[in-house]
């Protein structure tokens, strides 16, 4: 019974061993010479004025969340694009309804001023 799972276990072992092995080899082979400038947050040569834990405006997070939400639409449209011939006009109607909901979301976000950066 377990012989059916052998390829899965081999694949899982490779998937775990490859990244761990690559990280270990990188740790062993790379040069390590830390100094003050190298350990700074940015290596541009300019002294940082504040810590890297600065505060961001809420608008930044709002735009980021809107990007994630509306970018997910491609994930949902991909299966439809693969099977559009089998779905026929029903699939087209479903895709149009989905896109209409997204357009309503875009209009709402625009009217709320979420897409204004200034």
Q: Is 77 within a domain?
A: yes
Is residue 68 assigned to a domain? yes
Q: How far apart are CA 67 and CA 107, in angstroms?
A: 14
Write out the DSSP string of 45-98: SPPPSS-S-----HHHHHHHHHHHHHHTHHHHHHHHHHSHHHHHHHHHHHHHHH
Report the domain count for the chain: 1
End-to-end, the C-alpha distance of the chain in Å comes to 63
Nearest 5 degrees, angle CA 76-CA 78-CA 84?
Answer: 110
pLDDT digits (tens, 9 = 90+) for 38-64: 777 665 666 767 666 767 777 777 778
pTM of the model: 0.45
Measure Cα distances from 69 to 8, 54, 65, 73, 109 in Å. 34, 25, 6, 7, 12
Look at residue 43 in the predicted model and tell me its pLDDT.
Answer: 59
In a domain, 60, yes or no: yes
Instruction: Answer whether residue 20 is part of any domain.
Output: yes
CATH number, domain with residue 93: 1.20.58.1610
Within-domain flag for 72: yes
Q: Do the domain assignments include residue 5?
A: no
- 22 in a structural domain: yes
**Tens of pLDDT, residues 26-41:** 999 988 887 776 777 6
Asked whether the predicted pLDDT for residue 93 surpasses 80, the reply is: yes
- Residues spanned by the domain of 23: 10-112
| Within a domain: 76 | yes
């Amino acid at each position: 019974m377990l012989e059916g799972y052998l390829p899965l276990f081999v694949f899982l072992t490779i998937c775990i061993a490859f990244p761990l092995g690559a990280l270990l080899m990188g740790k062993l082979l790379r040069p390590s010479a830390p100094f003050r400038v190298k350990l700074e947050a940015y290596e541009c040569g300019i002294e940082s004025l504040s810590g890297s834990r600065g505060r961001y405006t809420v608008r930044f997070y709002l735009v980021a969340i809107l990007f994630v939400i509306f970018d997910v639409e491609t994930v949902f449209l991909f299966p439809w694009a693969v099977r559009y011939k089998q779905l026929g006009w029903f699939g087209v109607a479903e895709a149009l309804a989905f896109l209409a909901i997204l357009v309503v979301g875009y209009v709402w976000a625009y009217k709320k001023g979420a897409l204004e950066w200034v």
